[in-house]
Structure formats: C-alpha cells, structure tokens
Chains A and B, each alone.
Chain A
Amino acid sequence: MEDLTKQQAGGAASYADSLTRYLIVHLAILALAGLQFVIGYQHIDVGTMIFRMFAIAILEAGLAVVFFMHLGSENRAFVTWVALVTLFVFAALQYSWTDSYRMERNAPRNYQTMSPPPTK
C-alpha cells in the first residue's frame, strides 16, 4: 500500500533526498561541459573529436535524466517503457540514412562500388 502511494505520487519520495547529491550532480555536469570545451581545442581528427564530445554529452544527458528529471526513481515499468520508446524513435530516425547517400551520390551507396558492365 505504501509503495502504491509512492508510485501514485510519481516518485515524490525522491525529492526528500539530500541536497548534496544534487549539488554534486550539478558540478559533475558543469565539469563534463567544461571537458567538451577542452576537447574542442584538441588537435585530433574530426571523427575522434565527435566521438569524445558525443560520449560526454550522453553522460551529461544521462545524469540530467536520472537525477534532475528523476527517471531513476520512477517505477521500473515506466523507465523500461521510456527507454524502449526512445530507442525505437531513434532507430527509426536512421531510416533516412539510405536516402541521404542517394542524395549525395545520386545512387544507392553500393552502386558506386559496383564494377562497370562488361563491354563487348
């Protein structure tokens, strides 16, 4: 019964947590953001730079979602649902890549690597 009440309150119990934890999360996100600026001035190739910055951005976003948006203290079924729907939406976005290659090269990507037809 107590669990049901907590669930109906939408994770309200988590707001009674120590403020120190959230200050640490805030400082951690600021530090990670600072690290992105440092990486922006490193002399590395663009691919590596994007990978590092993106990894840090995902970490920052994860901290914000779990602590500030309180997804970490929601009920497990809801967290699973949010994760699955988000993954589906982002996977569906990748559908456009095939068309992007067509736009760039005026043909599907593998067409470019095909051998020319034999001449008689």
Chain B
Amino acid sequence: MGAHPAVHVRSSPFAIPTKKLAMWLFIIADAATFAACLLAYGFLRNGSLNWPTPFKFFPTVVNAMVMTFILITSSLTMFLGVRDAKNGNRQAAFRWTIITAIGGVIFALLHLREWMGLIGEGVSLFHNPWGNALFGASFFTITGLHLTHVTIGVIVLLVVGVRYKSGRFDADDLEITGLYWHFVDLVWMFVVPLIYLLNVSR
C-alpha cells in the first residue's frame, strides 16, 4: 500500500531527503570549524611583526596551482558521476566516482610531497628557520585539517561508489557524497589565498 504523497512531504523537513539535510547541517558546522581556524590564523598573522613569507614560485606556488586545478576538476567529475547516477547509468556513475577519487589521491600525494619539502627545510609545529614560530603550527593545522577531509572523502567515495555499483546504495547516496566532496573543494578556495598566496616570497 503506497503512502499518500503528503505523508512523504511531512516526514522530511523542506521536502528533501533527510540524509541530504543532515549533510548540509554537517557542511555548515564544518565550515564553521574551518572559518575558526582561518580567523585564528589571520589574527596570528596580523599580530606578528616577523611572520615569514617563504613560499617560492617554484615549487610551492606551482604545486598549489596544480593541486587547485586537480581539486576543481574533481568537482566536475563528481558532478558528472552524480548526473549519470540520477539518469540511471550505474556503470558511468561508478567510473566518474573512481576518477574523482583518483583526483583526490593525486591531490593528497602532492600535498604530502610539499609537507615533506617544508619539513626538510626545518619547519615543524613550533619551529622554522624564517620567523614567527607559530607559522608551522598554523600551516600544518589548516592544511592538515583539509588533507584529512580529502583523505576521508577519497575513502567515502570508494566505499559509496562500490556499493552504488553493486546496487546497495542509490543515486541519492552518491549525490550526498558529492555534496561533501564539493565542500572540500570549496574550502580549498579559501585556504589557497590565505595560507599560500599571502605568504609568497617576493
């Protein structure tokens, strides 16, 4: 016996799937977390007279450009995956989801390579060879928080992608995973100018 349409509308606030509403709530809360970190970083940077500006065009800024390109493009591939899922094309949706996850893996590897380079130059949480000791703490905390989100995103993409392909998850699940991935991309748009571009050496 099918339920009356009005019952469905009342059962989910704003007449959207409850899982999607929960993901939006999470995204807003997570945006507050990143905003708090970036505000704290801004306060530290402006309050410091010897804040270091160590990032050279090559390799750091070029690396950030490539990472930005990969992450923004992975948002497009994620969209294509969700689009195919909504159109009922499971195979194509799975393929785009895996391509998105590969983009995330490449992003994470490039990020780790950059971390290793900085650590090799003597940057740690509370020490660096250039100036204010908190530079390392703010850099590693904010980029580390973002990298954690990317890593979790890749794992979730793989799990949801495989389960979607096998029929255990539906297109809505892939769409909700996509919301998270787009959010990770969105945060990077604020991290790059504030953490990288404000600290380039001239």
Cα–Cα distance between A81 and B189 once the two chains are bound (Å): 24
Asked if B135 is at the interface (CB within 8 A of a chain A CB), the reply is no
Interface size on B, residues (CB 8 A): 56
Query: Which residues of chain B have C-beta atoms less than 8 A from A96's C-beta?
Result: 36, 39
Asked if A111 is at the interface (CB within 8 A of a chain B CB), the reply is no
Query: Which residues of chain A have C-beta atoms less than 8 A from B200's C-beta?
Result: 40-41
Instruction: Name which residue of chain B comes closest to A71, CB basis.
Output: B24
Interface size on A, residues (CB 8 A): 50
Chain B nearest CB, measured from A74 CB (Å)? 7
Cα–Cα distance between A54 and B69 once the two chains are bound (Å): 18
Of A40, A56, A60, A81, which is in contact with the most chain B CB atoms at under 10 Å from its CB? A40
Asked if A114 is at the interface (CB within 8 A of a chain B CB), the reply is no
Query: Which residues of chain A have C-beta atoms less than 8 A from B79's C-beta?
Result: 22, 68
Asked if B155 is at the interface (CB within 8 A of a chain A CB), the reply is no
Cα–Cα distance between A30 and B175 once the two chains are bound (Å): 23
Asked if B165 is at the interface (CB within 8 A of a chain A CB), the reply is no
Asked if A50 is at the interface (CB within 8 A of a chain B CB), the reply is yes
Instruction: Name which residue of chain B comes closest to A78, CB basis.
Output: B14
Chain A nearest CB, measured from B11 CB (Å)? 10
Instruction: Name which residue of chain A comes closest to B179, CB basis.
Output: A69
Instruction: Name which residue of chain B comes closest to A49, CB basis.
Output: B198
Asked if A107 is at the interface (CB within 8 A of a chain B CB), the reply is no
Chain B nearest CB, measured from A18 CB (Å)? 11
Interchain residue pairs with CB less than 8 A apart (27): A7-B15, A8-B16, A8-B17, A10-B16, A11-B16, A15-B86, A19-B80, A37-B197, A39-B193, A41-B202, A53-B194, A64-B75, A68-B75, A68-B76, A68-B79, A69-B182, A69-B183, A82-B28, A86-B28, A86-B31, A89-B29, A89-B32, A90-B35, A93-B36, A96-B36, A104-B43, A104-B47
Taking A12-B171, A53-B193, A89-B28 as known contacts, 12 extra A-B pairs with beta carbons closer than 8 A to each other, sorted by chain A number, are A15-B83, A15-B87, A26-B72, A29-B72, A33-B192, A57-B190, A64-B185, A68-B79, A69-B179, A75-B16, A78-B14, A78-B21
Chain A residues packing against B (C-beta within 8 Å): 1, 4-5, 7-8, 10-12, 15-16, 19, 22-23, 26, 29-30, 33, 36-37, 39-41, 43, 46, 49-50, 53-54, 56-57, 60-61, 64-65, 68-69, 74-75, 77-78, 81-82, 85-86, 89-90, 93, 96, 100, 104
